[in-house]
Structures are given as structure tokens and as C-alpha cells.
């Protein structure tokens, strides 16, 4: 088991997920995760891949809606 110290910023607590643990469940930087509580313990899990496709599509649509800056 790995131990980390909780830190406080902007009204929230945070910590760093050790690389070995993130890699063990396939987490990568920028990935969305969900948090839960199970038997008094906080759980973290990757959000389903289908959700990522929807998010990527909406991000692309928003980016396309922004007019280009004149040169």
C-alpha cells in the first residue's frame, strides 16, 4: 500500500495518484475518472470509453464554433 499526504487547494482536497497504480488500471493524463465510496473507502475508476468519444465530439464542435483570428 502506498501512502500520500492530502493537500488543500481552492476548497478541495487533492493528492497525486502514484504512477504504478494509475498504470495498473490504464489511467493516462487527461483521462476522466469517477469517484465513489465503497464500504468507507474512496474509489476511483476510469470513465467508460464511450463517454470519451462523446466528450471529444462536443469539444471538436465547440472548437469549430470559435471564429478564426484574422491575420
pLDDT in tens, the chain (71 residues): 889 999 999 999 999 999 999 999 889 999 999 999 999 999 998 897 644 444 554 444 444 444 444 43
Structurally, the chain folds into a number of domains equal to 1
List the one residue out of 14, 55, 56 whose CA is nearest residue 35. 14
User: CB within 8 A of 42, min separation 6: which ones?
Assistant: 35, 36
User: CB within 8 A of 34, min separation 6: which ones?
Assistant: 44, 45, 46, 47
Q: What local confidence, expressed as pLDDT, does residue 1 receive?
A: 84
Q: What local confidence, expressed as pLDDT, does residue 49 receive?
A: 62
In a domain, 1, yes or no: no
In a domain, 70, yes or no: no
Query: What range does the domain containing 19 cover?
Result: 7-65
Q: What local confidence, expressed as pLDDT, does residue 15 receive?
A: 93
Beta strand 12-14 with 7-9: parallel, antiparallel or unpaired? antiparallel
Amino acid at each position: 500500500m502506498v501512502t500520500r499526504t492530502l493537500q488543500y487547494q481552492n476548497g478541495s482536497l487533492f493528492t497525486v495518484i502514484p504512477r504504478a497504480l494509475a498504470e495498473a488500471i490504464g489511467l493516462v493524463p487527461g483521462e476522466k475518472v469517477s469517484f465513489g465510496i465503497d464500504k468507507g473507502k474512496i474509489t476511483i475508476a476510469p470513465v467508460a470509453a464511450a463517454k470519451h468519444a462523446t466528450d471529444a465530439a462536443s469539444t471538436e464542435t465547440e472548437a469549430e464554433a470559435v471564429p478564426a483570428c484574422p491575420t
